[in-house]
Structure 1
Amino acid sequence: MAGNTLRKAARLAAVGTLLYAARRYYRNWGTTKEEYRRWLPGDELMYRPSVWSTTGVWIDAPVSAVWPWLLQIGHRSAERIDPEWQRLEPGDVVRLTPKGWLGLRNGLTMTVAQVVDDEAVVLRGRPPGFPWEAVWTFHVEPRWEDRCRLLARTRAQLHHPGDLLLTELAGPITALFMRRTLLTIKRRAQDSLKAAELERAV
């Protein structure tokens, strides 16, 4: 009996060590110290989060080419700018995953809390649409005339001891999800810009 307890404790310690090591890598993926430390719109919704992270990518396109794609967040299959999806307003529900994702009957949804034109989209999650209280924010920042930075920040407030383990286990999945979202917006913005430039050249 004592041997089984020790083995379980060793497994838990190994999982904890692995998660901690991975967390140091993905927690602020692709960002500078200045970027992940500074205040961003939406941070005021959760002053003291239990867990948080910031992810960033460079985009070879101006803010004007990126913003329309950011407004279409939640429409994951969209490969073109649709005027019907360009009206993102506070109170709108954004579906992050399909129904049934990872066994969740309704998937994951968040509500738009704030939209700062050409700058930021702030999403807020609460049960039952989201497993815990969370704020996800997306920020597009100009860098010169033809480039920009796209940042995504997650902040979560946990109220139960078991939630901490759950969020740590979900951390790599969340980080990959956010990274893929940013890279998808990057690809679509750069591709649409190239297509527009080719049309002008013809």
Structure 2
Amino acid sequence: MTTGRARPWLATAMALGALAIGYRSRIRPWMYTWGATRAECAEKLPGDELVDPGRPHTTRAVTVDAGPEDVWPWLAQIGEDRGGFYSYSRLERAVGADIHNAEVIHPEWQDLTVGDTVWLARRGGERGRQVVAAVEPKSHLVLMTPADYDRVQRGEPAGGSWSFHLRPEGGLTRLLARGNGGYTGNAVYDIAHFVMERKMLLGIQHRAER
């Protein structure tokens, strides 16, 4: 028999359970596919082949009223020590990243090659940087941790990647961001990454259209 003292705990447990079910069934799927079509979510994108196929992934997208040639320069210069990430820079600086989002294209930051470093936060050392695993101007940019990049060089699958893809549609561009593996599936990471990445996509959209 349930005692009166136990009932508040039972109610709390039921509420938490309902919240967890709602998050998994509605909120997480919406975050994982924000702005993307079903076809885009299911599509194999450049860089996917480098990652363990059993890992979960996210696909988010925006339509940019500009051609890939106008979107790519903003994407090519991302990085803490370069053009930033066009997201919530105050939040990024609050956790120790020295982010200053660029409002213009910098020609000196346009050359990216495989093996280059893109810093998320220098203070994080190896954990604060990504390595360019694949790049094709006006098409795609694939990033991963140094450890995963080393695995790929040895012919082993990476545990995760973060990639961006440009798809021309007439005079417009579909800008896709895909997250493969890594911390995907961890609720705290998923929510924080969604908030920042969504703002990043909108930030690139705004700058390219302007």
Distance between the aligned counterparts of 1:17 and 1:98, measured in 2? 38
Report the equivalent of 2:23. 19
Note the 1:101-140 alignment, pairs <5 A.
Answer: 108-125=128-145, 133-140=159-166
Deviations 1:89-126 (A, max 9, x none): 11112123574xxxx68873211101012100000125
Report the equivalent of 2:36. 31
For the Cα contact (< 8 Å) 1:140–1:151, is it kept in 2? yes
SS in 1 for 2:36: coil
Report the equivalent of 2:111. 87
Name the TM-score, length of structure 2 as normaliser. 0.72
Distance between the aligned counterparts of 1:170 and 1:71, measured in 2? 25
Aligned equivalent of 1:65, options 70, 76, 84: 70
SS in 1 for 2:114: coil
Name the TM-score, length of structure 1 as normaliser. 0.75
Distance between the aligned counterparts of 1:105 and 1:121, measured in 2? 22
Number of equivalences: 176
SS in 2 for 1:173: helix
Deviations 1:141-184 (A, max 9, x none): 1111x2111000001157xxxx85xx222112111221111111
Distance between the aligned counterparts of 1:149 and 1:111, measured in 2? 24
Report the equivalent of 1:171. 190
For the Cα contact (< 8 Å) 1:95–1:108, is it kept in 2? yes
Distance between the aligned counterparts of 1:82 and 1:61, measured in 2? 18
Aligned equivalent of 1:151, options 176, 185, 194: 176
For the Cα contact (< 8 Å) 2:51–2:159, is it kept in 1? no
Distance 1:126 1:172, change over 3 A: farther
Distance between the aligned counterparts of 2:127 and 2:19, measured in 1? 26
Quote the RMSD (CA, aligned, Å): 2.9
Q: Unmatched 5+ residue regions in structure 1? A: 192-202
Q: Unmatched 5+ residue regions in structure 2? A: 85-100, 149-157
Indicate the percent of aligned positions where both proteins have the same amino acid. Answer: 34
Deviations 1:4-52 (A, max 9, x none): 9867754653452243131021111101111110111000011424321
